[in-house]
Amino acid sequence: MPLLEVTDLRTTFHTRSGVYRAVDGVSFSLAKGETLGLVGESGSGKSVTCYSLMGLVPQPPGRIESGTAMFDGVDLLHCAPAQLRAIRGKRIAMIFQDPMTSLNPYLRISEQLIEPLLIHEKISKADALARGLAMLEAVGINDAGNRLHAYPHEFSGGMRQRVMIAMALITPPEILIADEPTTALDVTVQAQILELIKKLQNELGMAVIFVTHDLGVVSGLCDRVQVMYAGRIVETADTRTLFHAPRHPYTKALQRSIPSLQPKGRELYTIPGLPPDLSKPIAGCAFAPRCEFSTDYCRRTDPKLAAVTPTQATACLRVQNSEI
CB 249 within 8 A of CB 258: no
Binding flag, residue 187, another protein (CB under 8 A): yes
Q: How many residues bind another protein (CB under 8 A)?
A: 44
Cβ proximity to another protein: between 79 and 100 the closer is 100
Handedness of CA 307, 303, 216, 10 (dihedral sign): negative
Q: How many CB atoms lie within 10 A of CB 73?
A: 6
- Distance of closest approach, residue 78 Cβ to another protein, in angstroms: 33
Instruction: Compare residues 19 and 189 and give the one whose CB is closer to another protein.
Output: 189
Among 81, 106, 124, 267, binds another protein (CB under 8 A): 267
User: Does 321 contact another protein by CB under 8 A?
Assistant: no
Q: Decide if residue 270 touches another protein (CB under 8 A).
A: yes
CB 46, CB 38: distance < 8 Å: yes
Taking the least distance from each CB to another protein, the nearer of 43 and 62 is 43
Q: Which of 61, 145, 205, 220 binds another protein (CB under 8 A)?
A: 220
In the stretch 90-129, what mask flags binding to another protein with x, by CB under 8 A?
A: ----------------------------------------
Nearer to another protein, 74 or 150 (CB): 150
Contact call for residue 188 and another protein (CB under 8 A)? yes
Whichever of 51 and 287 has its CB closer to another protein, that residue is 287
CB of 191 to another protein, least distance (A): 4
- Residue 37: which of 226, 311, 291 has the closest Cα? 226
Type of residue numbered 13: F
- As a whole number of angstroms, the distance between CA 138 and CA 143 comes to 12
Task: Choose which of 245, 269, 283, 311 interacts with another protein (CB under 8 A).
Answer: 269
Q: Is 257 a binder of another protein (CB under 8 A)?
A: yes
Calpha distance 148→296 (Å, rounded): 61
Does residue number 281 form part of the binding site for another protein (CB under 8 A)?
A: no
Q: How far is the CB of 40 from another protein (least distance, A)?
A: 9
Whichever of 94 and 253 has its CB closer to another protein, that residue is 253
Question: Can you say how many angstroms the Cα of residue 276 is from the centroid of all Cα atoms in its chain?
Answer: 21
Closest distance of CB 211 from another protein, Å: 14
Under the binding rule (CB under 8 A), the answer on residue 219 touching another protein is: yes
CA separation (Å) from 126 to 96, 113, 122, 134, 276? 28, 13, 12, 13, 53
Q: How far apart are CA 72 and CA 175, in angstroms?
A: 12
Distances (CA, A) of 179 to 126, 277, 285: 31, 23, 27
Applying CB under 8 A, among 12, 226, 239, 251 the residue interacting with another protein is 239
Q: C-alpha angle 161/166/169, rounded to 5°?
A: 125
Of 16, 146, 274, 322, the one binding another protein (CB under 8 A) is 274
Q: What are phi and psi of 286, to 5 degrees?
A: -65, -25
For 44-72, give the DSSP string.
SSHHHHHHHHTT-S-TTTEEEEEEEEEET
Q: 64 has which bridge partners?
A: 11
**Whole-angstrom distance, CA of residue 41 vs CA of residue 177:** 18
Range 25-44, binding another protein (CB under 8 A): 41-42
Report the interface residues with another protein, using CB under 8 A: 41-42, 142, 156-159, 186-192, 194-195, 213-220, 239-240, 243-244, 253-255, 257-262, 264, 267-271, 274
